[in-house]
Structures are given as C-alpha cells and as structure tokens.
A and B are shown apart, each in its own frame.
Chain A
Amino acid sequence: MSAAVMSVRARLRGLSLAQRAALGLLMLLAVFAVAGPWVWPDPVAQDLSRFLEPPSLSEPLGRDHLGRSVAGRLASATRLSLLIAVACVTTAIVAGMLAGILAAWRGGLVDTVLHGLSEAFVALPALLIVLMVSAMSGGELWTLYAGIALAQWIEYFRVVRARSALLLSGPAVEAATLLRLGPMHVLRRHLWPDLRPLLTTMATFGIGTAVLAVSTLGFVGVGVAPPTPELGQMITEAFPFYHEAPWMSVAPALVLVVVLVGLLGLRTKESAS
C-alpha cells in the first residue's frame, strides 16, 4: 500500500507545474461529478414556480427555464460525459492496440483486411461515424458509446500498426530474433515501452475528443435524449435565455472548457520551475 503511495508521489514529482494544475482541475471536476447525486438527488425534477431562479446559497448555479437545479443537472451531465469518454477511449485503445500489433506482426491477409478497413474508415470524419451509429437508434447511450469507440479505434490502430511495423522490421527486433528472445521479450522491451508514451498522449486527446463529441451531438439535437442532462443539450436549451439567465449557459460551457483545458494542460511539457 505504502509502495503504491510512494510511486504515485514519484510520478507527481515528475509532472510540471502546468500538468499538476491541470490534474488538480480535472480531479475537482471529477469530485463534483461524482458527489453531485448526493447533493442533488434528482436532476430532472421540475419546479416551474422557481423557473430562471438566479444563483443563491442553496442553489449555487440557479435554476433553469423549467425550474430544474442547474448545478444538479451539470453534475449529472459531467458524470455522463466523463464516463462515456473514458469508456470509449479505453475500448478504442485496447481494440486498436491489439488489432494494430496483430496486423503488424502477422502481416499477410490479416493486415490487408484490417488495413483496408482502416483506409475506408479514415475518410470518414469521426463525427460522421458517431452520427450514423446514433441514427440506428437515436438517443440511447450505447449507440453513443459504440459510435465514439468505433470512430476512435482507427486512430490507435493506425498509429500502433505503423509504429509496430517499423519496430518489428527494425534492427533491434532483428537482433532479438537472432538472440532467440521470444515474442514476450519483443512485446515487453521493444513495443510496449515505445508505444506507451504515444498512447498516453493520444488518450488525453481522445478523452477530449469524446467529451466534445457527446456535447456536439447534444448541441445539434441528435445526442442523448432529453430529459437526461447533457452538456451540449444544456447549452442549446440555455441559449434563448442567455440574457435573462446567463448562469444557465455559462455553467455548462465553462465545464466543457475546463475539461478541454485540463486535458490540454496535462500534455504541456513546460518545466516545473
């Protein structure tokens, strides 16, 4: 247990100031998203008598045009976005990496089929893929998850395949083969140490992209079906009231920007000085 704590500390020390700030920001947001349901148990409960109520101590972000608690809806929407994003990126990385290494390693027909498929997919904007999948059965969460994961695995597949093919045909792996070191050695010492930093960077991009995709779909009206709270949908709903009730639109927009800034900050390599 204490060893785990130590290793977390060691990792934190390696981070730059910007990265630590970004991590803190994202943690804060995660706490807000997770703790939300205890404070605001029902994010869809309407109270039309309190519509467009301005922020107060008991309702820190005010209420919307249907008298729903904006803070409660925001916590719920944030949780939804982050959960979908993490689930999609995890799925996409695992699938993309396995397929990529398989294609690079086996070559031949496996590679031809997978590579051909990815060539077709790569001409499709990711948003288009998500839109099409969500068209199959609109508004359901699984289509959103499936669509985003389907759109994202291609990237991991292509990068992992290209990088692995380069490494596998390179002199280091050739030497390992002559030394009769098996596939586990190649995976653990050659491929994984090389792919890990690449995938980590891509994953932070991917989570941002996924959060953005969910909210974009909500914004154009083909995402998560109302009344389930969702960031993009909240912004659309709030826009007509931007003058009377700015808290309604500013709050979800801010959360979206904070997620993206946080993920962006994680990638900055500025030194901690």
Chain B
Amino acid sequence: MSMHLQDVVITHGGRTLVDVADLHLPRGEAVTIVGESGSGKSLLAHAVMGTLAAGLTARGRVTIDGTGYDLAERSARRRLWGRVMALLPQEPVLALDPTMRVRGQVAEGAPAFRSDRRSAYHAAEQLLGTLGVGDAARSYPHTLSGGMAQRVAFAAATVGGARILIADEPSKGLDTHAREELADLLRQHVTGDGVLLTITHDLDLARRLGGQVLVMREAAIVERGTAEQVLTNPSHAYTQRLLAAEPSRWQHPWVSATGSPPADEPHAPFLIQADRVTKGYGKRDLFSDVTLTIRPGQRLALAGPSGSGKTTLGNVLLRLLPPDAGKVVHAADLGGGRLQKLYQDPAVAFPSRVPIIVGLRDVLRRHRPEPGRLEKLMGAMRLSEDLLHRPPGQVSGGELQRVAIIRAMLLDPLLIFADEPTSRLDLVTQEETMCALMEQVDRSRCALLLVTHDLALANAVAHDVLTATTPPADPVRQGHAGQLGSSSSTPPVHARK
C-alpha cells in the first residue's frame, strides 16, 4: 500500500492556495509537512481526504494502491474513509461527541458495527486496551485528559482498519508529555507498515517522527529531505529562519544564558512575596504551600503542563484571586498600575466593540506619559498607526499582543505577568513578539513573571524556572493535580542557567 499525489492545485476564487507537483508517500516511512499557518499545509491534507470546505476547488490526482482518484471529485473517496484512509483530527477533545461514551464512538468505526454490534464493542474495548486507555471505555470525553482523548481519537480513526493515516495538526493543545505519547503512537502506525502524512507546525513533533520532512511556504513546498537533514542542516533560507525561531536556538542579548540575574540576597527589596499560599478548586488543591519572592528585575517562569494551576498561581501572586491559605504581600511601589498583565489571547484583553485607540486614549488621559511615548513605542515595534483604529478582533494575534505590550509599557511597570503570551502564535511570530516584550523588559529593568507550557521558552527568557509537576498517571485521571512547590519553604527550582 502506498499513496501518490500528483499536480495538486487548490484555489479559492482566483487565488492559488496550494500547488504541489509530486508527493510520494511510501509505507513504513513517516512523511511530515511543516510550515506556518496560512502556508496551505492543512488544505493539502483535506484535499487528499476529500474534506475541503465548500468554496475551495482542488485539482490533481491521488493514487491509492494503484487506483487513481480525481481530487476534484470528492464522493468517490468517501467509501475509503475509515477502511482505507483515516483522518486523525485536530484537538481530539473537540472531535469526540460530548454526549456519547468513548466505547460507542470507537465501535461505530469498526467494520462489523452494522452487522454485529457486540463484536464491534469488543473490538473497540480491545483496541482501547492496547492503547492503554481501556479503563476509559465507559467514560464520557469530557473526563479525559488531552493525551487520553488523543489516544481515543486514534483508536476511533484506525479501528476501521485504515492503513493510510492523515494527521492534521495532531499536537495542537497537547502538553509536552502528551505530545511525546502522540509521537509514539504515530511511529507505531508507521512501523506497522502504515502510511502516515502528518501536517504540523510543531518542529519537535516532526523531529520525533523522523522519515521525510517537507517544508511548505506560501502554497509551495520549498524544501524536502530526511528529517535529520532538513531539521538540522536546512538549505533553504526559510527553513533556516524557521529553525532559528525555536526558543532553544534564540540568539538575543536578553536571552537569560547571556544576561545576569540579580543577586539573590535575603534582605534585598522585593516586589511580591508569597508565603505558603494554597489554592484549590472544589476540594482539590491546585497547589499548596508555595513560598516565593519576586525581586526587582527578576525574570521568573512558571512552566508546566496544562491544568497544573500555573496560571492560577500567577493570578494569586498578582492578587487577582484570593489564596485559600497563606498570604501574598506586594511592595508599595506596585500600586498605581506598576503591575501589568499580558494575556494568552490578546483579543479578549481589549474592550471588544471599540477601536483600540479609544481604550488607549483613556490610558493616556489617566496616566499622562511623556508626549510621543505611544508613537515611539509603536515605531519601535514596527506597528502602523492605522492598526489602532480597528477593533481588536480585526488585528492579527501577533500584532495585537505587541499593542498589549505597548499598553502595558505606557505605565512604566515594575513587573509584567505574561500568561502564555505566545502560545497561539507561529514560531516566527512568537520570536518577534517575545523580542518586542523582552527588549522593553530589558531596557526598563522591569521584572517578568512568565507562565508557559514550553520549557524551552521558559529557559530562554527566565533567570529562574519553576516547574509545576503532575502526579503519577491514574488510568482515568481527573486532570493533573499540580503539586507546585509542595516542599514547604523553598520552591523546587529545576532549572537555573
């Protein structure tokens, strides 16, 4: 079994979104297409599957096991779904029916389902068992962690016997641990003589999958080769730029390895002091007895998987949420708006129905920074003025996050709490945005509290990294109860560079 794509062209109106001349997917070798959003890589996957959105037209041919199919004609491939080819969905948590138990959702994909329901259920339970989520068979999807939902989705997609697996951004929304498990699953599929086409912007996943890697940019494939060659020694300028944007390779004056952390003396002045704070939700502790101090100019990162309570800890430190026990003390200087926050989705951090400039004018009127400060910052971040006359929903995520940084800097903050500020951005945009933030932080000697799920990012930016840990996996676990800083007085500082 193998799959071969020829002369694939996808257009919308008069615009060409994908143009790929030739792509061979052999069995037993992973093929991964990497690229940033808007490069057309997801469309390619959907064109192969025959699930393109209405309004997009595809031309070209796909040959599956010697049988040719016209990409423009979708219905012929529909009967291959589940049996010959399957699509592993983005965000498995959303791809599972919230009102149906897991077992039924897997079983309905089994070939026997229509004739012999009992054997289909049996097959489903067996497959779930093989994948290590047998205990979840009778659970509802909302009780699953991201990694478990990913394995359930994998079972549902492959239970019909499909040997061709197309995975579209399968690592979206998964934490590091779940991503590693996902890579293992996909590799197993390939080593079992399957065909695998993975679409991702996650270079780490591509590296783990090995095999062939293709780099896609603006509708075309700009580079292809083995994973090792493309992802360590790229020849195309774009691939080089992409790789350099990975936080672990950043070369900036403010990268923490080259900067100097402030002296950690016990009697130095502090900005925030947390003493044995505990916070839970319901009867469960998110974290307990966390004691830590943030000093002027310090850069502290809280890293950890989703659900570990790191954002909640940040909000408690900012006194946006009250702790259940313990206390948080702020230095007097922090009053009057010297403490600012950046949000994961900047679009929800601005009043949604008025142009951005209207809100910014209120800030200027209230705090009266030196005249021309706003314009100077806009220039420094290469943002054009007319951007500000749009409502926040009409500005791209990266640009809007930079506007949010500007808004925070107008108040000359002493501490910025950045809550996953770049987790929704592409690599290159992430680097741009972090540069914009860190240049300001560096210049003003302001302290930074960064919450991120990306340890590499945390290490690149922070002097100190605090990791939230997960308890040992429980088969049907109720999310990860973070055990952040469970030791009583000193936080577990895992990475000091």
Contacts and interface: CB of A to CB of B under 8 A. Distances in A.
Interface in A186-224: 189-190, 193-194
Interface in A168-182: 170-172, 174-176, 178-182
A175 B363 CA distance: 11
Contacts of A193: 351, 353-354
A170 B320 CA distance: 12
Contacts, number: 55
A194 B354 CA distance: 9
A160 B313 CA distance: 31
A185 B349 contact: no
Interface in B436-468: none
A182 B363 CA distance: 10
A178 B351 contact: no
A174 B359 CA distance: 14
B140 to A, nearest CB: 26
Nearest to A173: B351
Contact of B337 (A171, A172, A179, A190): A179
B354 A189 contact: yes
A182 B354 CA distance: 17
A179 B339 contact: no
A170 B367 CA distance: 23
Nearest to A174: B320
Nearest to A189: B351
Interface in B331-353: 336-337, 339-341, 343, 345, 348-353
A contact residues, range:
10 to 19
B348 A179 contact: no
Interface in A129-163: none
B170 to A, nearest CB: 29
Contacts of B350: 172, 175
A109 to B, nearest CB: 19
B411 interface: yes
B393 to A, nearest CB: 12
A174 B352 contact: no
A239 B318 CA distance: 70
A179 B354 contact: no
Contacts of B367: 179-180
A179 B348 CA distance: 15
B407 A178 contact: no
B38 to A, nearest CB: 26
B352 A178 contact: no
Interface residues of B, number: 24
A175 B337 contact: no
Interface in B13-39: none
B343 A179 contact: no
Interface string A1-40: 0000000000000000000000000000000000000000
Interface string B208-249: 000000000000000000000000000000000000000000
B94 interface: no
B79 interface: no
Nearest to A197: B353
B340 A179 contact: yes
A174 B341 contact: yes
Nearest to B344: A171
A186 B350 CA distance: 11
B362 A185 contact: yes
Given A174-B320, A189-B359, A179 B366 contact: yes
A189 B349 CA distance: 12
Nearest to A190: B351
B366 A172 contact: no
Contact of B341 (A170, A178, A180): A178
Contacts of A181: 362-363, 366
A174 B321 CA distance: 11
B358 interface: yes
B353 A175 contact: no
A185 B359 CA distance: 8
A181 B337 CA distance: 9
Nearest to A182: B366
Contacts of A175: 341, 343, 349-350, 407
A200 to B, nearest CB: 13
A176 B320 CA distance: 12
Contact of A189 (B339, B345, B362): B362
A178 B339 contact: yes
A175 B318 CA distance: 12
Contacts of A174: 320, 341, 349
A170 B348 contact: yes
Contacts of B362: 181, 185, 189
B351 A171 contact: no
Contacts of B341: 174-175, 178
Contacts of B358: 189
Nearest to B348: A171
A175 to B, nearest CB: 5
B366 A194 contact: no
Contacts of A179: 337, 340, 363, 366-367, 407, 411
A182 B336 CA distance: 12
A174 B350 CA distance: 10
Nearest to A175: B349
A254 to B, nearest CB: 39
Q: Which of B343, B348, B362, B366 has the most CB of A within 10 A?
A: B362
Contacts of A171: 343, 345, 348-349
Interface of A: 170-172, 174-176, 178-182, 185, 189-190, 193-194
27 contacts: A170-B348, A171-B348, A171-B349, A172-B351, A172-B352, A174-B320, A174-B349, A175-B341, A175-B349, A175-B350, A178-B318, A178-B337, A178-B339, A179-B337, A179-B340, A179-B407, A180-B366, A181-B363, A181-B366, A182-B366, A185-B362, A189-B351, A189-B354, A189-B358, A189-B359, A194-B352, A194-B353
Interface of B: 318, 320, 336-337, 339-341, 343, 345, 348-354, 358-359, 362-363, 366-367, 407, 411
Given A174-B349, A175-B341, 9 more contacts: A171-B343, A176-B351, A178-B339, A178-B341, A180-B336, A180-B337, A180-B411, A189-B354, A189-B358
**6 closest residue pairs by CB, A with B:** A193-B353, A180-B337, A189-B351, A175-B349, A190-B351, A171-B349
